[in-house]
Amino acid sequence: MSRERTDEEVKRLAPKQEILRELYIKSGNECAYPGCHNVLVDENGKFVGEVCHIEAAMPGGERFNPNMTNEDRRSFGNLMLMCHHHHVVTDDVCIYTVEKLKEMKRNHEMKYSGIIGQMMNSITDYGMSLEYTPCFNCKKISRILDWGLTDEENRENAAVLDKHLQKLLDLPIETRQLLGIMVMRSYWNRYDCIVPIHEVERATGLKPENIIQNVEILERRGIISEIEVEEEKGIPSCILYPDFESSFPYWNAIREFVKKTGTPIERICCDLDFSVFDE
């Protein structure tokens, strides 16, 4: 490092607005800590997350680096968004080193930065332009979920999955992202794959009208049912449709597959890579 860097008076500079905007867009409105789904902006549009420095802004702070400039310390690469709880947890510098936090930031932002980054630079209908990778044999999902099927039965399931997942091809990217969240927030009640809308709202920070607009798009594609409110509890929900011809609850199977393998749901719903089910 140069003397100009090390001799600079240390000052805490507020992050620039364009940096904060990029951080939020690439956060998916979720804390960057692995497995944490705490939202950064709540249902009322309030920012409830925290802007965290990987290498501290001031001397005495966690992982402070005297060789950084003030601009370095407030740069995109040195900042990440987390909930208050995990901001405190990561103050343990023995466990959460600079390298570990940078890896955490990188892995979290990778889920959202690809297509969104392109959208920031051009106006394109990404729902219409993206290609997809089909599935052919479903051997991996069959093995992971212990279905015990023959190769022929696996190929039949692959045809079903491919037929239904092609419905995602012309969906707006925002709708596909929301669908992925709905899939992971859904639960199986012995008959249907239920999506609790109130939980999706809290997880995403989206306003009800935004949820309704995207649900309408998914409903027209025959992917989900319309939102209904349970009479006794007054809780809104919808159903992720199965394959009606075979009664195959493929969304429930996809959720379980994602949980067991660690495959990002974005790879299926956003990247449209259905080959993840094959081997």
pLDDT one digit per residue (tens) for the chain, 279 residues: 333 445 788 999 988 888 888 888 888 888 999 988 888 887 667 788 999 999 999 999 999 999 999 999 999 999 999 999 999 999 999 999 999 999 999 988 887 665 544 544 444 454 554 567 889 999 999 999 999 999 999 999 999 988 888 888 878 888 888 999 999 999 998 889 999 998 888 888 888 888 888 999 999 989 999 998 876 677 898 999 998 888 889 999 999 999 999 999 988 988 888 999 999
The pLDDT value given to residue 2: 37
Q: What angle do CA 193, 195, 197 make, to 5 degrees?
A: 165
142 and 104 assigned to the same domain: no
117 and 177 assigned to the same domain: no
97 and 137 assigned to the same domain: no
Residues listed for the chain:
279
**Among residues 92, 121, 150, which one ends one of the domains?**
121
156 and 249 assigned to the same domain: yes
Contact residues for 143 (Cβ-Cβ < 8 A; gap 6+): 279
68 and 196 assigned to the same domain: no
- The tokens for 75 are 């740069």
152 and 111 assigned to the same domain: no
- The tokens for 11 are 């000052």
The pLDDT value given to residue 109: 85
Cα–Cα dist 8/53, whole Å: 19
Of 197, 183, 196, 203, nearest to 265 (Cα)? 183
The pLDDT value given to residue 3: 36
The domain that contains 218 carries what CATH number? 1.10.10
162 and 262 assigned to the same domain: yes
Cα–Cα dist 221/171, whole Å: 9
The pLDDT value given to residue 194: 92
236 and 107 assigned to the same domain: no
Domain range for 181: 127-277
| Residue 255 · residue 184 · CB < 8 Å | yes
108 and 42 assigned to the same domain: yes
Conformational region of residue 208, where left means phi above 0, alpha means psi within -120 to 50, and beta covers everything else: alpha
**Among residues 67, 102, 121, which one ends one of the domains?**
121
| Residue 227 · residue 195 · CB < 8 Å | no
116 and 134 assigned to the same domain: no
144 and 212 assigned to the same domain: yes
Of 155, 213, 214, nearest to 181 (Cα)? 214
The pLDDT value given to residue 4: 44
H or E element, residue 275: none
Contact residues for 269 (Cβ-Cβ < 8 A; gap 6+): 168, 176, 177, 179, 180, 183
148 and 257 assigned to the same domain: yes
- If one counts the domains in the chain, the total is 2
**Among residues 84, 106, 121, which one ends one of the domains?**
121
